[in-house]
Amino acid sequence: AQSVTQPDIHITVSEGASLELRCNYSYGATPYLFWYVQSPGQGLQLLLKYFSGDTLVQGIKGFEAEFKRSQSSFNLRKPSVHWSDAAEYFCAVASNFGNEKLTFGTGTRLTIIP
């Protein structure tokens, strides 16, 4: 069964600092990988996704993520965070058989300090 681990429950960074959120997945074949962001009281918004090809993917809001098969990781990065980036971030995986089900990690809450 596929699974996702986000080891950091809560991260605090200063505005303007760089950010890296960790995500490790467990799946036998090449997975489809996603990062979603959720602001309080809101639904989920897709930041970026990896299906195949270039292992460094660019997303919205200046985010990027790198797929590393050898480490089963798909870490999210941003070179300089803004106060508006404060939210909860979820990594998700789906099988490459067009599985209709997304398996989510437990999320990382990001706090930005001035």
Number of residues that bind other proteins (CB under 8 A): 24
Query: How far, in Å, CA of 7 to CA of 107, rounded?
Result: 9
- Per CB under 8 A, 58 contacts other proteins: no
Asked whether the beta carbons of 12 and 113 are under 8 A apart, the reply is: yes
Minimum CB separation of residue 14 from other proteins in Å reads 27
Going 68 to 38 to 43 to 2, the CA torsion angle's sign is positive
- Per CB under 8 A, 30 contacts other proteins: no
Residue closer to other proteins (CB basis): 52 or 114: 52
- Per CB under 8 A, 49 contacts other proteins: yes
For residue 56, the one-letter residue type is L
Minimum CB separation of residue 13 from other proteins in Å reads 23
For residue 83, the one-letter residue type is W
Query: How far, in Å, CA of 49 to CA of 80, rounded?
Result: 20
Query: How far, in Å, CA of 41 to CA of 71, rounded?
Result: 33
Q: Which of 27, 103, 108, 110 binds other proteins (CB under 8 A)?
A: 103
Minimum CB separation of residue 111 from other proteins in Å reads 17
Q: Which of 62, 86, 95, 109 binds other proteins (CB under 8 A)?
A: 95
- Per CB under 8 A, 46 contacts other proteins: yes
